């Protein structure tokens, strides 16, 4: 079941009615938990067993980690949790990838090994709920917060259907306390939630699927060399598609939760208005960025062990972040390229830095790298837009590796973008398609720049009610007219 379907609209309407009935809070939570399992079972019912296993194991292991005084036993319990969660993730998501590379390595050293190709189905959202449960057990090991008292609350935290499949990646302190006391949306929260849901669906159905997906698929699916204009239009189309698709899901998820009276963390803050790459990671997939910072980058040493180790930690974090997105070396290259960008940015920042850098724990922003070039760059209205545009164009280059299935396809497209892929084939895109992509991307960049310091709800609250109503109605009409072209969300495969 996906947000952009009539089935979900009917499902959500029923949940809203049940959640507002005059019944006990425990009964409402049970309703939400059952609804979350139904939502997930719409993909593949047997995979609910994985959710149950992960939930039950981490609930009891987390409690034991918090109460166990013996240090060696606590280590053993943490290892059990890590093996259970990461082992499940590695098998389902990376099993085929690991086997494929093992075969290549074996053949390279002269061992003739050709096993049967594994037929492993990837459970929807496994990367997201694995990170959700992992942060709980790690926090229990470090005693950062108290264990969740109720298995019902913990189960609902893990499986709450708005964030279950594609985030935002939530942590227990962000959501569990909301389950401990009765929550029901106020009239304003309901209106805000429905507005965010509508906006999220508009971003996905109209912008990502209807206006950009066809151009992106055409260019990235082409087996031959491309003209320079076609290549750039295809990459720009994907840069918009991936944002509207993923940010659309996050916006819809936050809106759905708000309609029920719950608040989920922000996941996107107009990332294409970023001035520099540290700023980009403050704004793109924020909950993953903060997770990687707190549970990988800082435990590796962060920036506390000298410049060389900091550079190493940055690259390790970005490489693993890339691999998290998919079982393909192109995703690793995508993460590595972002790591190189951050290296260059950090080197420039360090060369201008005259005051000591503060320790990681004192940095409030959810970024992977704390040393940012952004403070040394022109601010908004003083040339900052040119730096933001330069950042965006370099990020577009990384999307080539993210979207391409193979390195050969990525290099072919990069050469086409540079005008060096000769001979190039005939133009693939029509003038209308080029103009469509150009208009959509221009409007996207402009909206990111002018909205970079505010939010949708703040902006909406300042509009006259009649103007907001007109805009809302237009969004709904466009969603209905475009519904037939809608596809599944891209991040479901991660």
Residues involved in catalysis: 325
Query: 335, 321 in Cβ contact below 8 A?
Result: yes
Distance CA 66, CA 71 (A): 11
Closest CA to 59 of 180, 160, 157: 157
Query: 199, 255 in Cβ contact below 8 A?
Result: yes
C-alpha distances in Å from residue 40, one per residue of 86, 120, 123, 397? 20, 18, 10, 34
Distance CA 277, CA 395 (A): 9
Distance CA 194, CA 178 (A): 20
Distance CA 395, CA 337 (A): 9
Distance CA 374, CA 278 (A): 8
As given in the structure block, the two tokens for residue 328 are 């393909």
3-state helix, strand, coil in the chain (%, to 5): 70, 0, 30
62 CB contacts (<8 Å, ≥6 apart)?
Answer: 81, 136, 137, 140, 147, 148
Q: In three state form, how does the secondary structure of 295-315 look?
A: HHHHHHCCCCCCHHHHHHHHH
């Amino acid at each position: 079941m996906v947000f952009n379907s009539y089935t979900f609209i009917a499902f959500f309407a029923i949940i809203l009615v049940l959640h507002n009935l005059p019944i006990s809070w425990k009964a409402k939570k049970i309703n939400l938990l059952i609804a979350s399992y139904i939502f997930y079972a719409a993909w593949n019912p047997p995979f609910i067993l994985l959710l149950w296993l992960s939930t039950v194991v981490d609930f009891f292991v987390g409690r034991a980690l918090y109460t166990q005084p013996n240090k060696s036993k606590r280590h053993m319990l943490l290892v059990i949790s890590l093996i259970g969660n990461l082992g499940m993730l590695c098998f389902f998501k990376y099993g085929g990838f690991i086997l494929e590379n093992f075969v290549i390595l074996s053949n390279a050293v002269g061992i003739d090994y050709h096993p049967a190709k594994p037929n492993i189905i990837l459970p929807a959202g496994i990367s997201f709920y694995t990170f959700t449960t992992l942060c709980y057990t790690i926090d229990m090991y470090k005693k950062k917060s108290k264990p969740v008292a109720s298995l019902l609350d913990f189960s609902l935290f893990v499986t709450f259907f708005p964030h279950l499949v594609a985030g935002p990646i939530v942590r227990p302190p962000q959501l569990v306390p909301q389950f401990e006391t009765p929550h029901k949306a106020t009239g304003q929260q309901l209106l805000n939630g429905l507005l965010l849901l509508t906006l999220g669906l508009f971003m996905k159905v109209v912008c990502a699927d209807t206006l950009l997906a066809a151009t992106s698929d055409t260019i990235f699916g082409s087996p031959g060399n491309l003209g320079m204009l076609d290549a750039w239009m295809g990459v720009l189309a994907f840069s918009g598609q991936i944002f509207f698709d993923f940010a659309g899901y996050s916006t819809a998820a936050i809106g759905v939760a708000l309609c029920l009276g719950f608040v989920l963390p922000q996941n996107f803050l107009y990332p294409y208005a970023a001035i520099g790459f540290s700023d980009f990671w403050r704004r793109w997939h924020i909950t993953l960025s903060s997770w990687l910072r707190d549970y990988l980058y800082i435990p590796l040493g962060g920036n506390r062990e000298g410049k060389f180790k900091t550079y190493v930690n940055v690259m390790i974090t970005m490489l693993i972040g890339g691999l998290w997105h998919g079982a393909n070396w192109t995703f690793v290259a995508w993460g590595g390229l972002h790591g190189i960008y951050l290296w260059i940015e950090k080197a420039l920042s360090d060369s201008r830095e005259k005051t000591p850098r503060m320790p990681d724990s004192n940095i409030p922003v959810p970024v992977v790298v704390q040393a940012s070039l952004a403070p040394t760059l022109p601010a908004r209205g003083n040339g900052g837009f040119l730096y933001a545009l330069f950042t965006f164009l370099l990020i577009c280059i990384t999307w080539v590796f993210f979207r391409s299935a193979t390195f050969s396809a990525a290099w072919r497209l990069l050469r086409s973008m540079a005008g060096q892929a000769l001979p190039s084939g005939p133009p693939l895109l029509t003038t209308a398609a080029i103009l469509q992509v150009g208009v959509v991307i221009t409007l996207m960049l402009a909206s990111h720049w002018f909205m970079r310091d505010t939010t949708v709800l703040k902006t909406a609250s300042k509009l006259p009610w009649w103007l907001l109503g007109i805009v809302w109605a237009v969004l709904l009409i466009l969603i209905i007219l475009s519904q037939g072209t809608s596809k599944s969300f891209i991040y479901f495969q991660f």
